Amino acid sequence: MGNYTRMELDAMKHSRIKTLAITKCRQLDKASSWVQSAKQYELIDFLVDNKVPTPPEESTPRRPEAPTPQPQPQTAPSGSLEDMLADKVAEKLGDDIYKRTESIRDTFIEGVAEETTKMNQLIDDKLKELQNPVYVKINDVEVKKTDGLKHKQFPFVLECLKHFKRVWLCGPSGTGKSFLIEQCADALGFNTDEDNYEYLKGSAGVTESHMTGRMTFDGTFIDGAVARSFRNGSFLCLDEFDGFDANCGLVFNSVFDNQGVLATPNDKDNPVAKKHDDFHVAVASNTWGDGNDFEFAGRGQLDLATLDRLQAVKVHVDYDRNVERALAGDFTDMANVLWKLRDQCKSEHVRRTISTRLFLDGQTWRLAGKSNKQFLDIVTTGWTKEELSKVNVNGLLKESK
């Protein structure tokens, strides 16, 4: 039997130390009955210093039962991930692992620490990729690079616009649909700085004259956003598309199809606008045009002929956790709380929106010194007692610690 140090013996299982003690008793021709009831520190004393525990009947004071502090390796804190992994490896390879080579423990710990550092760097690099310029090629033609965070649907939306010059984005509130449209338009060379990007938001108050133009009392014609972009080859963003009046929305049938003309009856000089080759249009909505639901009031049912013209270019835009993680900055605990809150709202049928923009707002509050609890108190202000009970905010905060 080889000689072991206290540190090596302290790392072994109690059963293994007993076996070694019994073997040594046989070698020294001593009784071994005491081994089964001996404490671990007593066995270690025997193996290292040949000290046999004093029998209980003797009057000699017994040693304290608290284990004698043993020297610990300084390369990793006790209970750390590296230390636990090293112990598990020792159990698998045998108790004499430290005897075979004194440096293997330190080498293993250093290796785990190095790999952990590499993994953290990979995570940081992945987050940086979300903010790096994205280059998209369509038919081997590279479009303009676009900076900023990219939603995972960015390439597909851009592909729809490139092939069809139209696209329909639909998804929950606050997923970044409008911003995604702006990014894709910019990638294709359209932006407000170039005066070739038009924006029109749907509501019941939007009339046909807002779209195709109107005549003033003195005979002056004021062009509409839809007709102007259609004629000049601009990019048209129709936000809250399901908020337009269905009858008024029939104007869009000429915009979405391949007819190439749009009636502008209020323009006496040019009653028909011809479609420019560079004209692109993107629409964004919270519903697929089926009308009101429990979450989005004030949404109208869209004409079936209008929906038919967009069937091939529909894109569902849901919450992108990669983008939300980046927007949360260093406050991953805050991001976890919001994700759990969103999941609770969904599972408990609580009609509240935890949108992507809330992660950026949360980072702002955390940088201002607010805690997660203070931030959630602000977010849930106005919620009913029943809603707060269902989502269990205090429980979410405890889980995230």
Q: What is the pTM of this model?
A: 0.63
How far is Cα 321 from Cα 176, in angstroms, rounded to an integer?
A: 12
**pLDDT over 80 at 180, yes or no:** yes
**pLDDT over 70 at 43, yes or no:** yes
Rg of the chain (C-alpha set): 35
For tokens 């908020």, the residue is: 243
Sign of CA dihedral 289, 292, 295, 296: positive
pLDDT (mean) for 259-263: 88
User: Residue 119: what pLDDT?
Assistant: 73
Encode pLDDT of 159-172 as tens digits. 999 999 999 999 99
How far is Cα 52 from Cα 114, in angstroms, rounded to an integer?
A: 44
Reported as a pLDDT band with limits 50, 70 and 90, residue 21 is: confident
**pLDDT over 80 at 288, yes or no:** yes
User: Residue 6: what pLDDT?
Assistant: 80
**pLDDT over 60 at 384, yes or no:** yes
Reduce the DSSP state of residue 284 to 3 states and report it.
strand
Encode pLDDT of 334-380 as tens digits. 999 999 999 999 999 999 999 999 999 999 999 999 999 999 999 99
How far is Cα 53 from Cα 210, in angstroms, rounded to an integer?
A: 98
User: Residue 59: what pLDDT?
Assistant: 46
User: Residue 36: what pLDDT?
Assistant: 81
What rounded mean pLDDT belongs to the chain?
81
Which two structure tokens, joined as six digits, stand for 345? 């709202």
**pLDDT over 70 at 34, yes or no:** yes
How far is Cα 105 from Cα 97, in angstroms, rounded to an integer?
A: 9
Task: List the single range of 23-27, 122-126, 237-241, 374-378 with lowest mean pLDDT.
Answer: 122-126
Encode pLDDT of 66-107 as tens digits. 555 554 445 555 555 665 666 666 555 555 555 555 556 667
**pLDDT over 50 at 141, yes or no:** no
Q: Which residue has the higher pLDDT, 28 or 57?
A: 28
- Top mean pLDDT of 23-37, 211-225, 241-255, 280-294 is at 211-225
Reported as a pLDDT band with limits 50, 70 and 90, residue 401 is: low
